[in-house]
Chain A
Amino acid sequence: MLLLQCPWCGDRSEEEFACGGEGDIVRPLVPEELDDRAWGDYVFMRRNEKGIHFERWRHAHGCGRWFNVARSTVTHEILASYQVGDDRPELPE
C-alpha cells in the first residue's frame, strides 16, 4: 500500500487514489493528420519502464485533483509529486 503525496492534501493512503497510468502523454492537436501507426502509438503504446516512471494519479476520494508522480518501479520509491502543468522536477540520478 503506497503512501502518496497529494500536492494539495499531503500524505494519504493509496486507497484514496485512482491510478491513471503513464503521464505526460499529449493528445495530438489534429488527430486527423496522423496516420494509423502514429495514432495507434498515442492510443495504445506505453513505456512500461523499469526504473523511474512518470505517472498520473487522481485523489479520487479526496480533493479530486489529478497530479503527477515520479515513481521507481523497482523500489516504489516516490521521487516527486507535482501538479498537472508543472514542469518535471529535477530528479537525483
Chain B
Amino acid sequence: MSRARHEPLAHLALAAAGETTGPDAGVTLQAAPYQPAVILRGESGNAAFLEAFRAGMGFDLPLAANHVNSHAGATALWLGPSEWLVQSTTGQAEHGRLAAALTGHRHAIIDHGDGQQIIRVSGPRARDVLSKLCPLDLEGPDLAPGRCARSILARCSILLHPLPGGGYHIHVGRSFADYVWRLLADAGLEFGVAIGGAG
C-alpha cells in the first residue's frame, strides 16, 4: 500500500482549515492540493515545435509575455521566451500526451508538480495583502485576470496568476511554502484571515 503524497502545507493550511481571525475575514487563504505540472522548454521561434504542441494539446502555447492559454483541463503559463509552466487538472496522462507530441522536436520537459505549492489568495482585500509584499503593479494591464507574472513576494520568487474568477494563485517553490503562507497570514491580519479547506 503506497503512502499518499505529502502536501507541503499539511502542517499549517490543512490543520487550520475553517479557522478565521477577525470578525469579517477580508482575505481567504487556501492551499491548493498537488496538481501535475511540468516546465516546458522550447524555442518560441521554432514553428515546428509550436505546431507539434498545438497538434498534441489542442491549443497554442502563449508567446506573448505574461500570457496564459488553456484548453480542456491543460493550462500553459508563459514564464519566459523559452519557458512555460504546463499544468493539467486531468492527471499525468496530459503530460504523457505532451511528451509524445513533442518527440523529435528540440525541447525539454521537467517535472514540477512536486516542486511547487499553489496558494490561493482571495477575498475583497486580496490585492491589499499582496501589495504589502510584491512590487508588481497589481492594478496594471499586465496583471489583468488571466495573465501571469513572475516576481518576488518579500524575498521569495513567485509566479503570480490572477484568476479570471477573482483572487490569485501564488506559485512558490515547495521549500518556501511554509514561509510564504505565514507571510500572507501575517499580512492579512489587519483585514481578518479565513483559512479555506483544500481545493
- Which of the four size classes fits the interface of chain B? 10 to 19
Query: Smallest Cβ distance from B78 to chain A, in angstroms?
Result: 8
Which of B80, B135, B151 is in CB contact (< 8 Å) with A65?
B80
Residues 43-73 of chain A, each 1 if its beta carbon lies under 8 Å from chain B, else 0: 0000000000000000001111100000000
* Inter-chain CB contacts under 8 Å: number: 38
Q: Which residues on A sit within 8 Å (CB–CB) of B135? A: 12-13, 15-16
| A63 to B81 Cα, complex, angstroms | 7
| A9 to B151 Cα, complex, angstroms | 11
| A61 and B80 contact, Cβ closer than 8 Å, known pairs A8-B65, A9-B65, A16-B152 | no
| CB <8 Å contact, A63 and B79 | yes
Q: Which residues on A sit within 8 Å (CB–CB) of B127? A: none
| CB <8 Å contact, B65 and A63 | yes
Query: Smallest Cβ distance from A8 to chain B, in angstroms?
Result: 5
A: number of interface residues (CB 8 Å): 12
| A63 to B40 Cα, complex, angstroms | 13
| CB <8 Å contact, B150 and A65 | no
| CB <8 Å contact, A16 and B81 | no
| A10 to B65 Cα, complex, angstroms | 9
Q: Which residues on A sit within 8 Å (CB–CB) of B79? A: 63-64
| A12 to B81 Cα, complex, angstroms | 17
Q: Which residues of B contact A (CB under 8 A)?
A: 65-66, 79-81, 83, 135-136, 142, 149-152, 157
* Closest 4 pairs (CB-CB, A-B): A63-B80, A13-B135, A61-B152, A62-B150
Known: A9-B149, A16-B152, A65-B81; 15 extra A-B contacts, CB below 8 A, are A8-B81, A9-B65, A9-B142, A10-B65, A12-B135, A12-B136, A13-B135, A15-B135, A16-B151, A61-B150, A61-B152, A63-B83, A64-B80, A64-B83, A65-B80
